[in-house]
């Protein structure tokens, strides 16, 4: 099946779907699924914009409300995760995931679903060390602090995700260290301000790094840094298993002449259902870890095999998964049960002072009732106070007031004091004061579509090694494990793409292997080395302003361009 991967959406749904439609018509292909890697901005009305961590002058409705109101319907099944610029009051209605509009599905704080037998998982938000060990204590109305901390990743979500294998994973920010497995020199040429963080290995998420090493998915897609970057991560072999490879790809935001969309071919599993389905193993994990949920802001570590907890392994048994199937009467297809919970935006009757919208979501209510889960949002809206974690099977001494083992050493990256004091532009927020050279980014940072189409100089995985999915997968093995996967699309370069500049001689840092091609596409299988991944860029009808073609790069602040629909090279 053909999966379209998109970087930062920033509410530009109309333009993303138009781009996909153009590709389908021009090349006679059919995109089965769209994955969006955060900053989706599911803004339903003016009240939702008050729950976004962006300056007032950049708060625009964009086009999501059309899909929420029913004016339009997504032409492609869309799955997305949250980033650090979201309508948090809306997404918090669906902590376990759900439909935000017909044919548009949100994975929740963390989630795993199945599509054509492929497990697709993701975690929403970005990493911040000072909030990582806290519960989900932020609920509307937000103050200046919680407006930002609400989208920070929590260790409970990472703990749940580590209980099962996943084929395709999405995160908004990058796994820390992934930049060492791709063309680092090319990345630093495009984003010079990242050099200090790359050299100190402080760029990216330690939690995502932990997940990458543990899950070892075949694909990992990210966004956040507004640059296309591909890498191949070769994992050390685990006992009695074949070494696995992860193909990493990060994409840009939806703007003209930017690499924001890419098509990949993924082998579906034989005999699998056509629609979007719940994953019984994931739902069994949610049931088993429900007592660990918390709205308490105090730090907490998940249970470990350290003699203090009777249970630390929450991988579900076959009986637990069968019980989940029984809870749903054997029907695991995700129901089309979307319903509006607030009045959508009306462009004919705009409201300048709209009230904040807070309500429970029937989808979450139904899922919680079926599985016996706790609706954290409903609990908070009903004034239930802080919901502390209930430790299951705790042995030895009593835990502290936060219901966990806050003073215990955890296997998760909780000791990140060094990161908290570093100036880390990995968290791209509108208010950040760092600057980057944007004057030449559209030309220098553009891809060479011919190279992507030909599939030349693609980074290879281990020669002759077979990439296998993890052994606990209860689904039938993918086709790619037993036979050669179908060839990737071989599309001609888009005629409206930005012309590629002449290749300049360059080499990496001392001891670093020079990059083969600046548009290398992550591909870990030796059999896929000659396959192609098609990159499509959206053209702009904007004419260049006079005097904007000078040779001296012009410096722009990110907060002047991150929410514009076209790039302007004038200062």
- 247: phi then psi, degrees, rounded to nearest 5: -95, 115
CA angle (282, 8, 14) in 5-degree steps: 100
What was the pLDDT predicted at 379?
Answer: 85
Checking 412-416 for CB contacts under 8 A at 24+ apart, the result is: 412/132, 412/155, 412/158, 412/159, 412/207, 412/210, 412/301, 412/302, 413/129, 413/132, 413/206, 413/207, 413/209, 413/210, 414/129, 414/132, 414/133, 414/155, 414/299, 414/301, 416/129, 416/132, 416/206
Contact 124, 98 (CB under 8 A): no
Helical residues (DSSP H) of 28-63, grouped into ranges: 46-49
- Give the DSSP letter of residue 377: H
555-557 and 435-437 as β-strands: parallel, antiparallel, unpaired? antiparallel
Q: What is the per-residue burial (b if ≥16 Cβ within 10 Å, else e) of 358-394?
A: bebbebbeebbeebebbbbbbbbbeeeeebbbebeeb
Domains in the chain with CATH codes: 2-383 (3.60.21)
**Smallest Cα–Cα separation from 187: which of 508, 452, 438?**
508
Q: Which tokens sit at 355?
A: 């009230």
| Angstrom distance (rounded) from CA 307 to CA 365 | 37
Per 3-state DSSP, the chain is made up of helix, strand and coil in percentages (nearest 5) of 25, 15, 60
What was the pLDDT predicted at 434?
Answer: 29
Residue 12 C-alpha from the chain's centroid: 16
The helix (run of H) or strand (run of E) holding residue 190 is helix 184-190
Contact 103, 74 (CB under 8 A): yes
Give pLDDT tens digits along the chain (571 positions): 999 999 999 999 999 999 999 989 988 899 999 999 999 999 999 999 989 998 877 788 999 999 999 999 999 999 999 999 999 999 999 999 999 999 999 999 999 999 999 999 999 999 999 999 999 999 999 999 999 999 999 999 999 999 999 999 999 999 999 999 999 999 999 999 999 999 999 999 999 999 999 999 999 999 999 999 999 999 998 888 889 999 999 999 999 999 999 999 999 898 888 899 999 999 999 999 999 999 999 999 999 988 888 899 999 999 999 999 999 999 999 999 999 999 999 999 988 778 887 889 999 999 999 999 999 888 888 876 677 664 433 333 333 333 333 333 334 343 333 333 333 344 444 333 223 333 333 333 333 333 333 233 334 443 333 333 333 333 444 433 333 444 433 434 433 333 343 443 343 444 444 465 444 444 444 344 334 344 444 443 444 444 444 444 443 444 444 444 333 333 3
**CA-based torsion, 44, 45, 51, 56: positive or negative:** positive
Q: Is 556 helix (H, G, I), strand (E, B) or coil?
A: strand
């Amino acid at each position: 099946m053909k999966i379209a991967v998109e970087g930062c959406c920033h509410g530009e749904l109309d333009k993303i779907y138009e781009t996909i439609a153009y590709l389908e018509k021009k090349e006679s292909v059919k995109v089965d699924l769209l994955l969006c890697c955060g900053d989706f901005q599911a803004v339903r009305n003016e009240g939702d914009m008050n729950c976004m961590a962006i300056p007032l002058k950049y708060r625009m409705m964009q086009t999501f409300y059309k899909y929420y109101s029913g004016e339009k319907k997504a032409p492609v099944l869309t799955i997305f995760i949250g980033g650090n610029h979201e309508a948090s009051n809306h997404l918090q209605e669906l902590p376990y995931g759900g439909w935000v509009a017909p044919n548009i599905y949100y994975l929740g704080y963390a989630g795993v679903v199945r599509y054509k037998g492929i497990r697709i998982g993701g975690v929403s938000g970005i990493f911040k060390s000072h909030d990582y060990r806290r519960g989900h204590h932020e609920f509307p109305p937000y103050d200046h602090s919680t407006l930002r901390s609400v989208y920070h990743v929590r260790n409970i979500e990472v703990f749940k995700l580590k209980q099962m294998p996943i084929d395709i994973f999405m995160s908004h920010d990058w796994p820390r260290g992934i930049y060492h497995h791709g063309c680092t020199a090319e990345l630093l040429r495009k984003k010079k301000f990242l050099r200090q963080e790359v050299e100190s290995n402080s760029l990216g998420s330690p939690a995502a790094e932990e997940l990458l090493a543990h899950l070892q998915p075949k694909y990992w897609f990210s966004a956040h840094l507004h640059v296309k970057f591909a890498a191949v991560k070769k994992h050390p072999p685990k006992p009695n298993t074949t070494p696995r490879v992860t193909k990493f790809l990060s994409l840009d935001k939806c703007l003209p002449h930017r690499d924001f969309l890419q098509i990949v071919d993924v082998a579906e599993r034989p005999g699998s259902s056509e629609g979007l389905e719940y994953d019984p193993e994931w739902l069994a994990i949610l049931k088993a870890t429900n007592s660990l949920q918390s709205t308490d802001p105090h730090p907490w570590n998940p249970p470990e095999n350290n003699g203090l907890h009777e249970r630390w392994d929450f991988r579900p048994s076959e009986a637990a998964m069968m019980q989940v199937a029984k809870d749903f009467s054997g029907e695991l297809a995700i129901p089309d049960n979307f319903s509006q919970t607030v009045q959508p935006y009306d462009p004919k009757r705009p409201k300048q002072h709209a009230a904040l919208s807070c309500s429970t979501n029937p989808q979450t209510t139904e899922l919680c009732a079926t599985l016996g889960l706790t609706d954290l949002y409903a609990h908070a809206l009903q004034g239930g106070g802080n919901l502390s974690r209930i430790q299951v099977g705790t042995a030895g001494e009593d835990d502290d007031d936060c219901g966990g083992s806050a003073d215990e050493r955890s296997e998760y990256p909780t000791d990140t004091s060094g990161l908290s004091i570093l100036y880390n532009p990995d968290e791209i927020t509108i208010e950040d004061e760092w600057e980057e050279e944007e004057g030449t980014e559209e030309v220098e940072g553009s891809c060479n579509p011919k190279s992507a189409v030909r599939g030349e100089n693609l980074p290879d995985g281990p020669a002759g090694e077979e990439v296998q999915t993890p052994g606990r997968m209860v689904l039938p093995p993918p086709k790619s494990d037993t036979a050669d996967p179908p060839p990737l699309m071989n599309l001609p370069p888009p005629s409206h793409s930005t012309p590629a500049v002449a290749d300049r001689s360059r080499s990496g840092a001392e001891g670093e292997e020079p990059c083969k091609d600046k548009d290398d596409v992550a591909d870990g299988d030796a059999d896929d080395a000659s396959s192609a991944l098609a990159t499509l860029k959206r053209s702009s009808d904007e004419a260049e302003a006079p005097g904007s073609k000078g040779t001296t790069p012009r410096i722009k602040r990110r907060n002047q361009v991150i929410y514009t629909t076209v790039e302007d090279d004038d200062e």
